[in-house]
Structure formats: C-alpha cells, structure tokens
C-alpha cells in the first residue's frame, strides 16, 4: 500500500476516526491493527518474516531483561569491585551469546532476501539446473528498515538504554508502525514507548499540522521528485556516448534534488500521518544541501540511519575488546596520527556497511568506500584546514560568506560525483559519464533544443523554477530556525488558506501521476 493511494487515505481516515472515538487505552491497539493491515495489504499476504523478527526480538528482549535482573542480584552479593567486575563480565558474556544468535538469525534473513537475487542464479549455474527457486522469493516489504529497528531495540535493552517490553504486541507495534515500517525513519524504542502507551486527546491544530506536513511531502514527491525523475531516467537510460557531459551533469544535479525530494517527501508524509495521532517521529533530514562538509551533510541526510550505524557499528567496534587493543597499540605511532587509526577503521566499516545496505551492486560498495575515504582523509587533514584558510583572501564578514559558499560547493561536488556512481546502470556507464565531463562537456547543449528532448518540455522546466524556489525559500526559513507552519498559522486567514489551497492545487494539477491518482512509488522503498 502506497502513501499516495486511495486505499491509504481510506485506511488513514478510518484509523484516525477509531483512534479518537474508541477509549484512549485502546489507541495503541488501533495503531497495531492499522499497521498490520497496511503491511499485509502492501505485502499481499501474511507477514511471516515480520512476525518472525517480532517474536525473536521480543524473546531476546525478555531474556536480556531477566539476565540483567539476575546480574543485579548477583552484584549485590559481591564484596569488592573486582568481584563485581567478574560477575559483570560473566553475565555480559551470556547476554552477548544470545544477542549474537539473535543477530545472526535476523541479519541472515535480511542478507538472504537482499542477496538471493545474486546468489541463486550463480548457485543454479554451478549446479547446472534451474529449480525456479528465485521466482518464489519475494523480498519482504521494509525488511531493511524493520530489521535494523529491531536490532536497535535488542542492543539498547542489553546496554540498558531502554527497558525490554513484556508485552509482545507492543514490540510488534514498534516494529510494524505503519507510517515508518517501509522507509523509516529508524525509531528507537526509548523514544516511542511512552508515545505509543500515552493517551492522546483529539487536537484540531495537531491534525491540521499533520495534514499540512503530509501535503508538503506529497508536493515534494509528486511535483518535484517525479518530474525531475522523468528527465533523469531518460538521460541515464540512453547510450552514454550519445549524450554530452553537460546534459549528464544537469541530469545528475537534478538526480541529487530528485532523491532528496523523494525521500524527504516520504518522511514528511510519514511524520505528518504520525503527527495526526500525536506521535512524533524523529527528524530524518535537516536541509543537507546547506552542509559545509561531507560529514555535516551526512549528519543532515538520513539522520536516523547515520545515528544507527554510529551507535551500533562505529561505537560497538571502537569500544570492543579488539577496538580498544588496536587503539592502544596504535595510539603513539605515526607522529601522533596513530590515535586516529581506530576511528578511521570504524568509519570505513560504517561506510562499507552503509554502501551494501543501500544496494547490492559493486557501485554501492564503491560508493560507501568513497565516502569512508573522504571522511577519513578529512579527519587527518582537519588540523591543517584553519592554516589553509588563513592563507586565502577570505577575511571579514563578506569573506566568511564566500568561504562558506566555497565549502558548500565543495560538498555538492563530492555528493555529485558519488551520485553518478549509484545512478548509473553499471560501472562502465559511470566511467563513461565521468569521461564525458572532461572530454565532451559541450555547455551549449544546455541552451539548445537537446535539453527538452529527454521527456521534460519547456513548460516543465518553466514550472520547476518557481517550484524549486518555493522549496528553497521554505528550506532557507527553516535553516534560520523558523517553523514555516507556525509562521503561516500566524498570518491572516486569507493568506494562510491561499497558501494551503495553492499547494494542494499544485499537487493535484501539476503532480506527476501514473495512470490514475494512485500510482506513485518511492525510491527508497527499494533499499
């Protein structure tokens, strides 16, 4: 079930009505029922994998909870610090063993579904027969998202950053919560538990704010992302040698915007739906193209995924026995740079996994390694940045602005080069596109009729100018700390409603739909 579909709007309306009409203690049951319907309809069948993950997550959480209670009891009997340490280590070992089994099972399922497409044909070729196994394998909806969400629950329970839940259905709701189950954001149990359990009274303002955010997300998705997608798909779909470098550059810039509009549009819609129930989802985007460095870009883009990898991969590795031993061994080596060895290894690990989480091709793996290397090199060069800046003629307030712009442009360039890699159909195509930037840029193509021969006509480009400016203006206001919805709420009714209707009409009239108002699919769903 897609957000932009009649069936979703009907489900949302019925859930909303029941949520506020039934007794408040029933509210979370309503959300669970809606989530299972949303998921079941989207999957087109029984959600076996989701339930398997739910059962194992619940079971592991209960085991951890009991083990922690036993550890506390055992520590009370200890007479000194050393004895306490021994008891702690013994219990930690037991918990870790169960956690490893749990992760092996759930990550195994994820890897199986993600990589069966690649592995099965290879196995069948080696065996010399086609068993038709692949046809029966359907990747469960949102498995990349709910698996990582489930792991965060188990690890947090083990780290005592949240208390494991004793009600299985509440664990299931946490994993299957319908606004975020298919594309995130990655929720943390400690942030969601109280919200799900809380009793929420109806609020007209909150409902209005939720709907506003949903419509704004639809605007970004249907008016911007899907329109840009037409051009990007056409350009990247033709023979590389026949397209000039400037057209590829234009398509890649538009792809950068398309991906952002598509994914942040989804998150706005998910957050808007959730807000109408009084449940606030974590921020997943904070205007990434205002970032002045790649590290900052990734602190602003897909924030909850970055936080997940930082907390559960980076820190787990660095703080592990191996990480600590390596850290101690390298600390005083290489002229003081040795202390950065373990953080760099952690960074490379994080980015390798981020790459393969996003896609199952070599391009995604290289994309991850590329970002890992850039982050690591930045870490080593950081002490020199200030001295380099001192040598540049960028002084005073004006100079600072130029310097900020230079840094932003550098970030855009790095992201631009990375996006060529993941948007291309193959490494060979990516190579040909990079070459075209150097050997046949042909800037004039951008002003010739060629630009309108890739699916977007003159009027589409003319429409994109004000639409992108509206998006930029809203982003700039948010960057200055303004909440646009609050600002609008304070304006006279005529202006306020003109804005609301204007955006709704733009979505309805200028949105890109398929055969009916019922067919928009989101890009991140395929991850």
Partner 1 sequence: MQERILEILSEYCEEALTYNGDSMMEDGIIDSFTVINVVSDLEDEFDIEIDAKYVIAENFRNKEAIIALVQKLLEE
Question: CA 168 to CA 66: how far, in whole Å?
Answer: 16
Q: Does 233 bind partner 1 (CB under 8 A)?
A: no
**How far apart are the two ends of the chain, measured CA to CA in Å?**
17
Query: Is the Cβ of residue 161 or residue 404 nearer to partner 1 in the bound state?
Result: 161
d(CA 229, CA 423): 11
Q: Does 413 bind partner 1 (CB under 8 A)?
A: no
Pick the closer one to partner 1 by CB: 89 or 494. 89
Tokens of 323: 């990480």
Minimum distance of partner 1 from residue 81's CB (angstroms): 8
The reply on whether position 161 binds partner 1 by CB under 8 A is yes
**CB closer to partner 1 out of 319 and 508:** 319
Q: Which is nearer to partner 1, 155 or 269 (CB)?
A: 155
Q: Token digits for 358? A: 């996003």
Please, what is the minimum distance in Å from the beta carbon of residue 319 to partner 1?
A: 4
Closer residue to partner 1, CB minimum distance, 343 or 431: 343
Considering the complex, state which of residue 207 and residue 341 has its C-beta at the smaller distance from partner 1: 341
Q: Hunting for tokens 């982050």 — which residue is that? A: 375
Minimum CB separation of residue 343 from partner 1 in Å reads 5
Virtual torsion, Cα 303, 309, 311, 317, nearest 10 deg:
-160
The answer to whether 299 contacts partner 1 (rule: CB under 8 A) is yes
Of 208, 141, 151, 207, the C-alpha closest to 180 is 141
- Long-range contacts formed by 159-164: CB under 8 A, 24+ apart: 160/68, 161/190, 162/188, 162/189, 162/190, 162/193, 163/65, 164/61, 164/62, 164/64, 164/65
Under the binding rule (CB under 8 A), the answer on residue 195 touching partner 1 is no
Tokens at residue 303, please? 């924030």
Q: Nearest-5° angle of CA 88, CA 90, CA 91?
A: 65
The interface mask with partner 1, positions 118-137, x = CB under 8 A, is: --------------------
User: HEC profile for 397-410?
Assistant: HHHHHHHHHHHHHH
Does 315 contact partner 1 by CB under 8 A?
A: yes
Per CB under 8 A, 325 contacts partner 1:
no
Judged by CB under 8 A, which of 327, 355, 368, 511 binds partner 1? Answer: 327
From the list 24, 331, 395, 458, which residue makes contact with partner 1 (rule: CB under 8 A)?
331
Task: Choose which of 5, 195, 203, 316 interacts with partner 1 (CB under 8 A).
Answer: 316
Counting contacts by CB under 8 A, is residue 31 touching partner 1? no
- Nearer of residues 63 and 214 to partner 1, judged by Cβ: 63
Give the interface segment with partner 1, choosing from 23-31, 312-320, 362-370, 437-445 (CB under 8 A).
312-320
- 340 part of the interface to partner 1, by CB under 8 A: yes
Is position 72 an interface residue for partner 1 (rule: CB under 8 A)? no
The contacts found for 57-62 with CB under 8 angstroms, 24 or more apart, are: 57/102, 57/106, 57/150, 57/153, 57/154, 57/171, 57/175, 58/165, 58/168, 58/171, 58/172, 60/98, 60/99, 60/102, 60/154, 60/157, 61/153, 61/154, 61/157, 61/164, 61/165, 61/171, 62/164, 62/166
CB neighbour list of residue 430: distance below 8 Å, 6 or more residues apart? 363, 420, 421, 424
- Determine which residue in the list 87, 148, 181, 314 makes contact with partner 1, applying CB under 8 A: 314
478 near partner 1 (CB under 8 A): no
Is residue 207 close enough to count as binding partner 1 by CB under 8 A? no
Q: Closest distance between partner 1 and the C-beta of residue 330, in Å?
A: 11
**Contacting range for partner 1; rule: CB under 8 A; set: 127-135, 319-327, 354-362, 455-463:** 319-327
Q: Binding residue for partner 1 (CB under 8 A) from 97, 130, 159, 410?
A: 159
Q: How far is the CB of 148 from partner 1 (least distance, A)?
A: 17
Q: What is the DSSP string of 23-73?
A: -GGGHHHHHHHHHHHHHHHHHTS--HHHHHHHHHHHHHHHHHHHHHHHHHH
Name the minimum Å distance from CB 95 to partner 1.
12
Q: Report the interface residues with partner 1, using CB under 8 A.
A: 158-161, 295-296, 299, 310-311, 314-316, 318-320, 327, 331, 339-340, 342-343, 346-347, 379
């Amino acid at each position: 079930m897609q957000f932009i579909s009649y069936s979703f709007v009907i489900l949302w309306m019925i859930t909303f009505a029941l949520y506020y009409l039934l007794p408040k203690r029933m509210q979370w049951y309503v959300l669970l029922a809606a989530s299972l319907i949303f998921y079941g309809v989207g999957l087109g069948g029984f959600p076996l994998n989701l339930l398997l993950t739910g059962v194992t997550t619940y079971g592991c959480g209960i085991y951890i909870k009991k083990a922690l209670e036993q550890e506390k009891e055992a520590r009370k009997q200890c007479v000194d610090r050393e004895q306490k340490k021994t008891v702690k280590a013994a219990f930690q070992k037991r918990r870790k063993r169960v956690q490893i089994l749990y992760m092996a099972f759930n990550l195994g399922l994820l890897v199986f579904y993600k990589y069966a497409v690649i592995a099965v044909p290879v196995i069948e070729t080696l065996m010399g027969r086609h068993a038709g196994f692949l046809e029966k394998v359907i990747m469960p909806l949102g498995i990349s998202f709910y698996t990582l969400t489930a792991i965060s629950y188990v690890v947090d329970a083990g780290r005592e950053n949240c208390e494991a839940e004793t009600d299985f259905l509440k664990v299931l709701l946490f994993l299957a919560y319908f606004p975020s189950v298919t594309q995130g954001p990655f929720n943390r149990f400690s942030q969601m538990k109280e919200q799900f359990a809380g009793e929420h009274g109806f609020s007209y303002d909150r409902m209005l704010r939720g709907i506003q955010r949903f419509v704004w997300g639809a605007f970004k998705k249907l008016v911007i992302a899907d329109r840009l997608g037409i051009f990007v798909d056409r350009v990247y779909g033709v023979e590389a040698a026949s397209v000039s470098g400037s057209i590829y550059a234009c398509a890649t810039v538009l792809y950068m915007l398309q991906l952002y509009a598509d994914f942040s549009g989804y998150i706005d819609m998910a957050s808007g739906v959730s807000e109408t129930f009084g449940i606030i989802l974590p921020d997943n985007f904070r205007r990434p193209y205002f970032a002045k460095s790649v590290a900052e870009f990734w602190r602003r883009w897909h924030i909850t995924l970055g936080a997940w990898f930082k907390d559960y991969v980076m820190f787990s590795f660095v703080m592990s026995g191996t990480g600590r031993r390596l850290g101690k061994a390298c600390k005083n080596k290489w002229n003081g740079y040795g202390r950065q060895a373990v953080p760099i290894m952690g960074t490379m690990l994080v980015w390798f996994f981020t790459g393969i989480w996003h896609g199952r091709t070599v391009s995604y793996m290289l994309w991850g390694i590329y970002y890992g290397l850039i982050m690591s090199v930045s870490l080593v060069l950081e002490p020199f940045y200030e001295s380099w800046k001192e040598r540049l003629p960028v002084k005073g307030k004006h100079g600072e602005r130029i310097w900020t712009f230079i840094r932003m442009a550098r970030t855009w360039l790095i992201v631009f080069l990375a996006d060529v890699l993941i948007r291309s159909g193959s490494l060979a195509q990516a190579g040909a596109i990079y070459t075209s930037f150097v050997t046949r840029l042909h800037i004039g193509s951008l002003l010739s009729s060629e630009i309108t021969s890739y699916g977007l006509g003159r009027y589409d480009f003319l429409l994109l100018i004000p639409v992108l400016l509206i998006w930029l203006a809203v982003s700039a206001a948010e960057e200055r700390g303004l909440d646009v919805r609050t600002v609008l709420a304070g304006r006279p009714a005529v202006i306020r409603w003109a804005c609301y209707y204007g955006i709704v009409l733009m979505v309805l009239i200028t949105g890109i739909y398929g055969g009916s108002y019922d067919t928009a699919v989101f890009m991140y769903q395929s991850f």
